[in-house]
Homo-oligomer: A and B are copies of this chain.
C-alpha cells in the first residue's frame, strides 16, 4: 500500500517532468500528454516487455493513466501563473528515480534474473522514461550527456540493495538503504556538481 502510494508519487513527478520538457518544444495538447505518459510509464514498460511481464501495469490499472493526465494538466495550469519550483522538482525527481530503480530491480529479482541483470533492469526502469521523452523530442538523451550523476546513482543504489540482501540483512532495510543511496547520490551530485568523465573522440558531431 505504502509502496503503491510512493509509486504513484514517482509517476506523478515524472509526468510533470515530461510536461515541462514538452513546454520547451511548442507541442500541442496531445503532444504534451503523450510526453507525460511516456516519461512516467516508459521505464516500467520497457522493463515489463524485456521480462515478458503481462499485463503491462498501466493497461491493467487505469489509476496510473488518471494520475499522469491529472499531473500534466495541473502542471500546465500552474506554469501559466508562475515558474515551477525547480528545487522541489529536482528532489522529487531524485525520489522518483530512486524508487523506480529499486522497485524495478526487485521485480527483476522476483522474475529470477541474476544480480547483474537486476541492477541493469533497475537502472532501465528508472531512466528509460526520460530517454524515450528525449528521443521523442529529437534530442540526445539528457542522461547520456555530461551532467550530474543520474543512471550511475541508480546503479550504485541497486548494487547496495543487492549486496545487503545477499549479506542476509532483512527487508525492508536493504530496500530503504538502496532508495536512500540513489536519492542522496543524485542530490549530492547536483549540489556539488559531481559528474562522470566525458569520452570524446575524433571529429566532433555536435554542431
Contacts and interface: CB of A to CB of B under 8 A. Distances in A.
Contacts of A137: 140, 205
A24 interface: yes
Given A24-B202, A116-B65, A136-B135, A151 B34 contact: yes
A89 interface: no
Contact of A50 (B30, B56, B139, B146): B56
Interface stretch (A2-10, A96-104, A163-171, A190-198): A190-198
Contacts of A65: 116-117, 120
Contacts of A60: 113-114, 117
Interface string A76-90: 100100010000000
Nearest to A131: B136
Contacts of A35: 144
Interface string A1-35: 00000000000000000011011111111111011
A110 interface: no
Interface in A55-80: 55-56, 58-60, 62, 65-66, 76, 79
A13 B20 CA distance: 35
A30 B144 contact: yes
A54 B113 CA distance: 12
Interface of A: 19-20, 22-32, 34-35, 45, 49-52, 54-56, 58-60, 62, 65-66, 76, 79, 83, 113-114, 116-117, 120-121, 131, 135-141, 143-147, 150-152, 195-206
